[in-house]
Amino acid sequence: MKAIVQTTEGDPAALELQEVPKPTLQPGEVLVKVAASGVNRADLTQAEGNYPPPKGASDILGLECAGEIADAGDTNREVGEKVGALLVGGGYAEYVAVPEGQLLPIPEGFSFAETAAVIETACTVWSNIVMEVGLSKGETILIHGGGGGIGLMAIQIAKAIGATVAVTAGSAEKLEVCKSYGADILINYKEQDFAEELKNQCDVILDIVGGPYLKKNMFALAKGGRMITIGLQGGNKAEINMGVMMMKDISLHGTTLRRRSPEVKAEIVRQTVKNVWPMLEDGRVKNHIHETLPLADAAKALNHLVESSHTGKVVLVQ
């Protein structure tokens, strides 16, 4: 099969379309013929050499895809069935092996590209802001990186829940996009101090920055606030003021979706399909595709993330 291969370790620009062996199915897996693959920051981090795949997983990039089942293996699925898939890797390829529990239906009215653009973001957002920290109606959530794929998905899901949404982004243009998707409070982190703007107001913070933002995030959290860190774009080390944490009853959480067990991922998929797919189908949550590119242009796709020149998702199509 054809797949994207990294020819120089640590160089996200060194990605080429080459012939590689087709995956061999393990018990409980199906083979999906990929039509579209979502591009995520974790792919860039892996290509930079900082996020190796879990042991035994494919070293091919790609954490989500959509296409048709080409081989149902020992499952009861049907060849030709149109599906989305949450992956541990391998999405930038013609075929990928997927545990049955990580298959998702195509939302009604969605194309393969639109489906591939929402799987990882929807599963990440729902599992973190709802399953992990319990965002509820009437609360205030701060979403860092509001203009990205995760950010735009989080804005919409939080609004559908009934929360007030604050976002940070680095340009007026990105903040306008956030506003168009429902954000209530817009903060340009290059011009404003989000901690001062939101002092003691945030019930939940969805953080992608990590260490450099910890002190400010704790300042912005309300009493009983919960912070969930899902990315470390700014670094992985920080000093915690335990006194503030105790006085404000703050809880700090951190997760990575990729390294969770197949059983946990299957439950995340189940709950995401149950709760988010109806939002996609009735229009409460919309996908936002910045650009679709041929699979061979994977390096160009990752460069959008390097330059932070995109809003929403970039999708590779075949």
Q: How far is CA 126 from CA 100, 129, 163, in A?
A: 20, 6, 14
| Domains of the chain as residue ranges with CATH | 2-118+287-317 (3.90.180.10), 122-254 (3.40.50.720)
**Whole-number pLDDT of residue 195:** 97
Backbone CA torsion sign across 186, 190, 191, 196? positive
Using the predicted structure, report yes or no on whether residue 308 has a pLDDT greater than 90. Answer: no
Mean pLDDT of 91-119: 98
Q: How far is CA 203 from CA 88, 186, 194, 218, in A?
A: 31, 17, 14, 11
Q: Extract the tokens encoding 2.
A: 């054809």
Q: Look up tokens 């409070």; give the residue.
A: 185
**Whole-number pLDDT of residue 310:** 87
- When the pLDDT of each residue in the chain is averaged and rounded to a whole number, the result is 96
Mean pLDDT of 95-105: 98
Using the predicted structure, report yes or no on whether residue 24 has a pLDDT greater than 90. Answer: yes
Cβ atoms 59, 43 nearer than 8 A: no
Q: How far is CA 282 from CA 7, 183, 276, 302, in A?
A: 43, 19, 10, 31
Mean pLDDT of 77-85: 98
Cβ atoms 238, 214 nearer than 8 A: yes
Report d(CA 141, CA 204) in Å as an integer: 5
pLDDT band at 274 (very low <50, low <70, confident <90, very high): very high
Residue 163, C-beta contacts closer than 8 angstroms, at least 6 positions apart? 135, 136, 137, 138, 139, 140, 141, 203, 204
Using the predicted structure, report yes or no on whether residue 309 has a pLDDT greater than 90. Answer: no
Mean pLDDT of 95-99: 98
Smallest CA-to-CA distance from 69 within 27, 104, 116 is with 104
Using the predicted structure, report yes or no on whether residue 73 has a pLDDT greater than 90. Answer: yes
Mean pLDDT of 226-241: 93
Q: Look up tokens 């995401």; give the residue.
A: 272
Mean pLDDT of 167-191: 96
Helix or strand or coil: residue 157? helix
Q: Extract the tokens encoding 280.
A: 């996609």
Report d(CA 204, CA 161) in Å as an integer: 13
Report d(CA 258, CA 294) in Å as an integer: 25
DSSP 226: E
pLDDT band at 226 (very low <50, low <70, confident <90, very high): very high
pLDDT band at 208 (very low <50, low <70, confident <90, very high): very high
What is the H or E stretch that residue 245 is in? helix 242-247
Beta partners for residue 99, in sequence order? 29
Q: Extract the tokens encoding 141.
A: 């959530």
Report d(CA 52, CA 244) in Å as an integer: 35
Using the predicted structure, report yes or no on whether residue 88 has a pLDDT greater than 90. Answer: yes
Using the predicted structure, report yes or no on whether residue 281 has a pLDDT greater than 90. Answer: yes
What is the H or E stretch that residue 143 is in? strand 140-143
